[in-house]
Amino acid sequence: MRRFFLLGAVLMMALLAACSKDDQTYDPVPQFNRDVDSIKAYLQRTGLPAVQDTVSGIFYHISKVGNGVDSVKTVATKIKALYTGQLLSGHVFDSTGTTPRDLGAAGGLIVGFQFALTKITKGGKIRVYLPSFYGYGAAANPGIPANSVLIFDVELTDVTNP
């Protein structure tokens, strides 16, 4: 499980490193450090529980592990989930509501979402706080400014391994 997350992280770093402006290599580290500081301040201000993954730097809190059996095993694993995505400001940019959404193969999701899926099994619930590097990075998306820290509340409702 951790392999496909690490592979995704390495690919994301390679993509970001390949992006350049006037032949200067983009360095994601300063933004990553600002994001981690913002997440720490948010968690302290709100009193919400979370731990920081020592490898990725992603913060998370598992409220329910799941059934302990049905897990995301590869990037080809098909998943269905309930989720809400929001910014640190509280602005919700996406939500499934009460109906699980078919998200396709796990490998097609942003790296931070993939990370969340490796921590829980079917029926599990997790909240992840993603530095922008593990979300959309320096790219803006509808409702999501560039370099935004993302918060996802995820419930894994179904898992189909190939």
> 34-74: per-residue pLDDT in tens?
999 999 999 999 999 999 999 999 999 999 999 999 999 99
Instruction: Give the containing element (helix H, strand E) for 37.
Output: helix 29-46
pTM metric for this prediction: 0.84
Cα separation, 118 vs 79, in Å, equals 12
**CATH number of the domain that 95 lies in?**
3.10.50.40
Enclosing domain of residue 45: 2-160
pLDDT band at 15 (very low <50, low <70, confident <90, very high): very low
The count of domains in the chain is: 1
> 86-138: per-residue pLDDT in tens?
999 999 999 999 999 999 999 999 999 999 999 999 999 999 999 999 999 99
In this predicted structure, the answer to whether residue 7 has a pLDDT above a threshold of 70 is no
